[in-house]
Structure 1
Amino acid sequence: MSEALWPSDPSRIAEFRLLRRLGAGGMGVVYLGRTDAGALAAVKVIRGESAGDDDFRARFAREVELARRVDSPWVVPVLDADAETREPWLATAFVPGPSLAEAVAEHGPMPSRVASVLGGLLAKALDAVHTAGLVHRDVKPGNVLLALDGPRLIDFGIARAAGDTALTASGVVVGTPGFLAPEQAEGQPASSASDVFALGCVLAYMSTGTLPFGTGTPDALLYRTVHDEPELDGMEGELRTLAERCLAKDPDARPTADEIGRLLAEDTPDASGDWLPDPVARMVAARAAESLALPGIEPTVVDEPEEPPLRHPGRRRLLLAGSALLLAGGGTGAAVWASEDDPKEPSGSGRPVYVLGLHGATGAGETTVSRVAERAARLAVAEHNASPKRSYDLKVKVLADRGDVDSARDVARAFTADRNVVAVLGPVGEIQMRAAAAVYGEAGLTHMSNSTGQQDYFVTSRVTSFQSGAPHLALGTWIAFHAFATGQVTSAGVVIDRDGGTIIQDQGTPLVTNWRDTLEAEVIPRVVAERTDDGPKAVRELLAARVGAFIYLGPLDATVRAAQDLAAAGFTGPRWMQHQLYGSDFPAQAGAAGEGWYVVTMAVDPSALKTRQAREFTAAWRKRYGSTPEPYATEAYDSVRMLLAEFARTVPAGARRRPVRADLAKRLAKVKYEGIARTYTFGEYHQYDNEGDGWTEETFVHQVRDGRFQQLGSLGDLSRAAEAQS
């Protein structure tokens, strides 16, 4: 979606009057422009270091010249460009439809015939790009726009001339992880075959709704792309066979774009949209209708309106509001009201009242995390409302999904339709985070999850979605660091139990690699396939191999059984479990067999810290809830406080104007927030940035002792203690 122009934005570039902002990134800003004749254009303005680089300008000019040669109805045409001006710019035709990523996220996988039509036309688009001497290098669902008469391939922002290997340094990865070819993932030059590999990923995504190399952090996606086979469950027949050929590791084994176009040849769609599934066709038509309602001229500098810029809803926005009313009325929607507003929260004070949403869950294993997050939110809001100097009041509104895609989207729609909701904490689960992020992103409503750790949501929501929890990938590596810091490096057996979901794979792969390559110790991995109950067999095999350490990465019940099997065998070496089991019933279920097991996690027990901030938080929690803070309470509280602190900076003076929703995400992207146990900053994909030197002080080790989890200290604490004893 778009947002209003900023006061610092130009009002016109060449013949294009600028109307709205379509997006912004590291290279610059994309505007919606209109010529005096009424033609709409997407105008990309290059800013920052690139604008002052003469070599970049020369490449930019050459790229524009090549892009002008692309002749295809399925590629957005270049309308005009200027590489000589102070800030180079490029204008292409504007396509008002949603992206393929949005359509799949909203309505699910495409039927096989629709996928064939889209795949064939995109292949023809790529063939035209390659014929013009270009390599696109970022073919992905977000760069495919849907119109009623067919798709359009967009974004030549990183397209380069074929064979021009000097445009990127060796080893630099350019593009989007999850859609990069193996050769690109390894930092090698991209070719037309690399675009074909990406097209294969797009075919799989639109046919199944999932990425062929799974989900997770960019590093994990790149690793799987190079080493693993794609998962194409849900694809059948010739389309699957073609996708498998496109996804060949060897570039020479892949078909050309021209061959794919001929294999998937279908009648060219007309402008009726009948070839699309009905919900997608309505989505495309609604988006096109909204573009026709744009004003002829929008001033560059305006007084802030009474409502945020999105106050003129299209038909889709009205439908979202309608679904929210259905939920509130107790209809058959998938989401449920988890809690009413706290009766102690404000009403009738005369001050403006803003709402913090809590996107919880009632699914198995997520209810406890939701309850803790709600408690943290209510405590933070109560502290705000206790200040006599406050200029506005806050309330908490809680909605819970059922742990599935549909109900997660329903909750997100209900929150986005409520204009009083200024930010949301959650969702609490990975599935819900991926599903709801697109809804929050489309509405411009900022949300933050402190209990998820995969980054694939950025495919559909790169502006308003944030994660304040550590990536699962890093937490696997940190187990190896704990072993090193405490002198427990020995031969290790690692069980990767896939019944624990993709999170387990995210942790297992880097753990095995680091144990072997960085610690230079023997490691024996065993993978347990889903629904096979082969965990005990894997444990027996590792015991027979006489490993000195044991790591079981899997669900609670399987980890408990592994603990009991190890105890029965008399194994006493160091043992680790996966991080999400911290705070679980593992100590109670495993009994004596669970004693001594470690868990390395970002979650902190603040009652074990000596800092003033931790003591005050622990005392406040105890006073309000009668207990010490539960696991993940600190992280949820930090996240809410961070949201509220940055939101306060977006609230206009006085009570006559409302905050602009989009402003909060802009601030959070640049925030440096000092929490109770760590400093929060966000990386490129709005994930918690753990790349600095302080991560060892912000990662904690807990051990099961006397039937409960007890915090031993941070990785930094344990490392220093080990050094002092040596």
Structure 2
Amino acid sequence: MSETLQPSDPSRIAGFRLLRRLGAGGMGVVYLGRTDAGALAAVKVIRGESAGDDDFRARFAREVELARRVDSPWVVSVLDADAETREPWLATVFVPGPSVAEAVAAHGPLPWRAVRVLGGLLAGALDAVHTAGLVHRDVKPGNVLLALDGPRLIDFGIARAADDTALTASGVVVGTPGFLAPEQARGRPATSASDLFALGCVLAYAATGIPPFGTGTPDALLYRTVHDEPELGDLEGESRTLVERCLAKDPDARPTADEIRRLLATDATAAPDTSGDWLPGPVARMVAARAAESLALPGIEPTVVDEPAEQAPQDTPPARRPGRRRLLLAGGALLLAGGGTGTAVWAAADDDKEPSGGGGRPVYVLGVHTSTGTGNAAVSRACERAARFAVAEHNLSPRRSYDLKVEVLADRGDVNSALEVARSFTADRKVVAVLGPVAEIPMRGAAAVYGEAGLTHVSSSTGQQDYFVTSPKTSFQSAAPHLALGTWIAVHALVTGQVARIGVVIDRDGGPTVQDQGALVSAWRDQLGAEVVPRVVAERTDDGPEAVRELLAAGVGAFAYLGPLDATVRAARDLATAGFTGPRWMQHQLYGSDFPRRAGAAGEGWYAVTSAVDPSVLATRRARDFTAAWRKRYGGTPEPYATEAYDSVRMLLAEFARTVPAGARRRPVRADLAARLATAKYTYDGIARTYTFGELHQYDNSGDGWTDDTFVHEVRGGRFRQLGSLAELDRAAKADS
């Protein structure tokens, strides 16, 4: 949303009084401004090197003049600009609604009726931009704002000139990977046809909730845009045909903006009224609420106090966005074992009675956001058990000033049900933090809801970072990124002397997780200097066995199948039947799965490289005490991912304790917990690894010691057995040699 002005900000620019900060980046700051007549404007001030570049100023002035010629109600109008002042600035009409990216993240895919209106009006907007001699270059969900009377295209032409000082340079990629055309991905100039490809990406995202070329690193997205077919989900019929035409690799095969506008023409696209009925109800209410909030003058935020039970709770103010630097979380004091207690206290933590708040103590709730379905059931159970274990420890302390209880809600693995769970937790003012979601799609959707409510949550089992786009303040991720885990397979091969010509199957039915782990291909080739024979299996094609046969025929000496459980089990059987005995790796999320039982003898010897630990085989006192207490409480050793969930909960609870006002006479402010996590300057030493966080609130594996925190598991005797960390295996190999 917006932030208060900083002391260094001007109070006025030309005829605009500045009210709030709307955003900031490397090129400058965007402010919410108001004219003396009361009209609101978005005022972008250019700072840094571009402000002193004469060529930039000339291009800026030229494109401002061109943009003034754009005549469309669906493109934000230029109100005023000055390219000659010390810091060039540009003012456009302010649109208070959310972007398409925010709306889809908060409420799921839009119905085709709304997408049809969206596409028809945006096509009209692009037609006007192209007629004026401009190419937008960066049409994406974040650059399309929603208003009750239709969408608005922002950040066109001028904004690209402001953000890129070498737009015409050969080979420069300008735009957002995943939403730009193949010719842009190859570094060629953008044309009007490039904007139409991007429009197809926006429509696909709006209709399915998933970017058509997935998520991941920029180079992976650029590769998929050039070589892969888009993922269009449940789109069918004429709607699918139109989007596929927009996403044609050949620019000449794409429809024009005017053709799209005519194909999607309806009474609504001609002139939507201000009722917002072209949007689904939840999105229309979001647009109206955002407009009301943005139009309100800034005021003093009230102190939050405990309300009587019969009163509706007040909203807490959102946390300020943390600076973009390494975030080091938690400390040694968070471990009970570090404080002189051990098995005795942990083993006593088996009291599941609900706290009653006796002795005048308030009761706060830790939410656990799990998922149903066979793919997520085991991790969900581990997270729930870990949360109950940690909360029971807290409630055993006789010196506690408040009690804790656990509430578990499960989504169905999709965006809509994840949003329902997140809304339930955020609506309950007693919920002070959430562990989860446990799965990728729910994480991407629900994070925006948690972010808007200022409710801190930590996912200990997801590994993608795109949640940060819609929730940059309260969402944290304590699991290692999938991208890193793919490359760690190469590290394992290196330290154990198993580098050979490798066949890598990337089975797209495994979703974005295995696509990210495709980084193994470049790591094996570029870092190990060894040959790679890759094969990509498209979704719903059942081409996995053919890919395995092709790689065996190519004479590979090592093998990695990165795909879902069923396909990996089948690959194991096919390799065993062929007599292949070289090293074999699976994708990391299959650790702890039913792979050993289902693959049987064919699964013996397969590796999983992951940051998840089996603490029962560690020799440290912390791991031994934790394992003994868990065994006493649950009747077995900690299951996969339980240790990481426990560490994450302990981290949340320790930092929450520091936000509780003395005497517990006032309710803790929700946003304070995220602010503490984002600004803390210490690390958290967990049961088996140290947690640090990067600038996107993700687990940071870029520093020293990550090889001590990464573990190799091998299928032996029908189950996963931990061989050791990468560092331990490296030391053992060096000792043997």
TM-score by length of 2: 0.81
* Counterpart contact for 2:60–2:161, Cα < 8 Å: no
* Counterpart contact for 1:564–1:593, Cα < 8 Å: yes
- Is the counterpart of residue 571 in structure 1 residue 580 in structure 2? yes
Corresponding letter in the other structure for 1:355:
V
Among 486, 496, 510, which residue is 1:500 paired with? 510
Per the alignment, do residues 251 and 481 of structure 1 end up closer, same or farther by CA in structure 2, a change over 3 Å counting?
Answer: farther
Looking at structure 1, the residues matched to 448 and 182 of structure 2 have their Cα atoms a distance apart, in angstroms, of: 27
- Is the counterpart of residue 702 in structure 1 residue 705 in structure 2? no
Per the alignment, do residues 46 and 182 of structure 1 end up closer, same or farther by CA in structure 2, a change over 3 Å counting?
Answer: same
* Counterpart contact for 1:50–1:56, Cα < 8 Å: no
SS at match of 1:366: helix
* Aligned pairs (5 A) from 1:135-534: 135-155=135-155, 159-161=159-161, 166=166, 175-186=175-186, 190=190, 192-232=192-232, 234-235=234-235, 240-250=240-250, 254=254, 257=257, 260-261=260-261, 264=264, 268-272=269-273, 276-277=277-278, 279-280=280-281, 283-284=283-284, 287-288=287-288, 291-292=291-292, 297-299=297-299, 304-306=303-305, 311=314, 342-343=352-353, 345=355, 347-386=357-396, 391-458=401-468, 460-507=470-517, 509-528=518-537
Per the alignment, do residues 171 and 160 of structure 1 end up closer, same or farther by CA in structure 2, a change over 3 Å counting?
Answer: same
Q: Deviations over 1:345-375 (max 9, x none)?
A: 4623434443221001221132221121122
Corresponding letter in the other structure for 1:689:
D
Looking at structure 2, the residues matched to 469 and 197 of structure 1 have their Cα atoms a distance apart, in angstroms, of: 35
SS at match of 1:547: coil
Corresponding letter in the other structure for 1:710:
R
Per the alignment, do residues 463 and 231 of structure 1 end up closer, same or farther by CA in structure 2, a change over 3 Å counting?
Answer: same
SS at match of 1:371: helix
Looking at structure 2, the residues matched to 60 and 303 of structure 1 have their Cα atoms a distance apart, in angstroms, of: 46
SS at match of 1:365: helix
1:590 is matched with 599
Among 637, 644, 652, which residue is 1:643 paired with? 652
SS at match of 2:374: coil
In the alignment, structure 1 segments of 5+ residues that lack a partner are: 314-340
Per the alignment, do residues 289 and 711 of structure 1 end up closer, same or farther by CA in structure 2, a change over 3 Å counting?
Answer: closer
1:333 is matched with none
Q: Deviations over 1:68-122 (max 9, x none)?
A: 5544321223445677889876543332333223444455544555434322322
Greater shift, 113-122 or 445-454, is seen at 113-122
Looking at structure 1, the residues matched to 599 and 164 of structure 2 have their Cα atoms a distance apart, in angstroms, of: 60
Greater shift, 50-59 or 176-185, is seen at 50-59
Looking at structure 2, the residues matched to 652 and 66 of structure 1 have their Cα atoms a distance apart, in angstroms, of: 56
2:117 is matched with 117
Per the alignment, do residues 40 and 84 of structure 1 end up closer, same or farther by CA in structure 2, a change over 3 Å counting?
Answer: same
* Counterpart contact for 2:591–2:640, Cα < 8 Å: yes
Looking at structure 1, the residues matched to 207 and 110 of structure 2 have their Cα atoms a distance apart, in angstroms, of: 5
SS at match of 2:640: coil
1:552 is matched with 561
SS at match of 2:433: strand
* Counterpart contact for 2:524–2:530, Cα < 8 Å: yes
Corresponding letter in the other structure for 1:709:
F
Greater shift, 85-94 or 453-462, is seen at 85-94
Greater shift, 22-31 or 100-109, is seen at 22-31
**Taking every aligned residue pair, what percent have the same amino acid on both sides?**
75
SS at match of 2:723: strand
* Aligned pairs (5 A) from 1:552-701: 552-611=561-620, 613-615=622-624, 617-622=626-631, 624-653=633-662, 655-669=664-678, 673-676=683-686, 677-683=688-694, 685-701=696-712
Looking at structure 1, the residues matched to 555 and 272 of structure 2 have their Cα atoms a distance apart, in angstroms, of: 67
* Counterpart contact for 2:197–2:248, Cα < 8 Å: yes
Corresponding letter in the other structure for 1:231:
E
Looking at structure 2, the residues matched to 60 and 619 of structure 1 have their Cα atoms a distance apart, in angstroms, of: 68
Looking at structure 1, the residues matched to 661 and 88 of structure 2 have their Cα atoms a distance apart, in angstroms, of: 34
Count how many residue pairs are aligned between Structure 1 and Structure 2.
694
Corresponding letter in the other structure for 1:426:
G
RMSD: 4.1
Looking at structure 2, the residues matched to 293 and 609 of structure 1 have their Cα atoms a distance apart, in angstroms, of: 53
Corresponding letter in the other structure for 1:712:
L
SS at match of 1:160: helix
SS at match of 1:159: helix
Per the alignment, do residues 120 and 596 of structure 1 end up closer, same or farther by CA in structure 2, a change over 3 Å counting?
Answer: same
2:126 is matched with 126
How many Å apart are 1:202 and its aligned residue? 0.8
1:325 is matched with none
In the alignment, structure 2 segments of 5+ residues that lack a partner are: 317-350
* Counterpart contact for 1:444–1:661, Cα < 8 Å: yes
Per the alignment, do residues 157 and 689 of structure 1 end up closer, same or farther by CA in structure 2, a change over 3 Å counting?
Answer: farther
Per the alignment, do residues 302 and 406 of structure 1 end up closer, same or farther by CA in structure 2, a change over 3 Å counting?
Answer: closer
How many Å apart are 1:40 and its aligned residue? 3.2
How many Å apart are 1:201 and its aligned residue? 0.7
TM-score by length of 1: 0.82
- Is the counterpart of residue 97 in structure 1 residue 97 in structure 2? yes
Looking at structure 1, the residues matched to 4 and 34 of structure 2 have their Cα atoms a distance apart, in angstroms, of: 14
Q: Deviations over 1:291-340 (max 9, x none)?
A: 347785434x6563448999369xxxxxxxxxxxxxxxxxxxxxxxxxxx
Per the alignment, do residues 202 and 580 of structure 1 end up closer, same or farther by CA in structure 2, a change over 3 Å counting?
Answer: same
How many Å apart are 1:430 and its aligned residue? 2.1
Per the alignment, do residues 647 and 28 of structure 1 end up closer, same or farther by CA in structure 2, a change over 3 Å counting?
Answer: farther
Greater shift, 404-413 or 496-505, is seen at 496-505
Corresponding letter in the other structure for 1:402:
R
